[in-house]
Amino acid sequence: MEIERRWLVEGWPDLTPHSLLEMEQGYFLTNPAIRIRRESLQGGDTAYVLCFKGGAGLAREEIEVTVDQDRYQRLKTMLGKPMIQKEQRRYPLPGGLTLEVNAVDPDLETGFFYAEVEFPTEDAALAWAPPEELTAYLSREVTGQPGESMAAYWARTRL
Question: Quick one: which of 106, 101, 103 has its CA closest to 130?
Answer: 101
Indicate the residue type of 89: R
Stated pTM of the model: 0.94
CB count in 10 Å sphere of residue 31: 14
Q: What is the CATH number of the domain that holds 114?
A: 2.40.320.10
Q: What is the rounded (10 degree) CA torsion for 140, 141, 144, 149?
A: 60
Q: How many domains, the chain?
A: 1
* In contact, 74 and 63? CB cutoff 8 Å: no
Range of the domain at 116: 2-158
User: What pLDDT score does 12 carry?
Assistant: 98
CA 130 to chain centroid, in Å, comes to: 18
* pLDDT score of 25: 98
Q: Quick one: pLDDT band at residue 130, thresholds 50, 70, 90?
A: very high
pLDDT in tens, 18-35: 999 999 999 999 999 999
Q: What is the CA radius of gyration of the chain?
A: 15
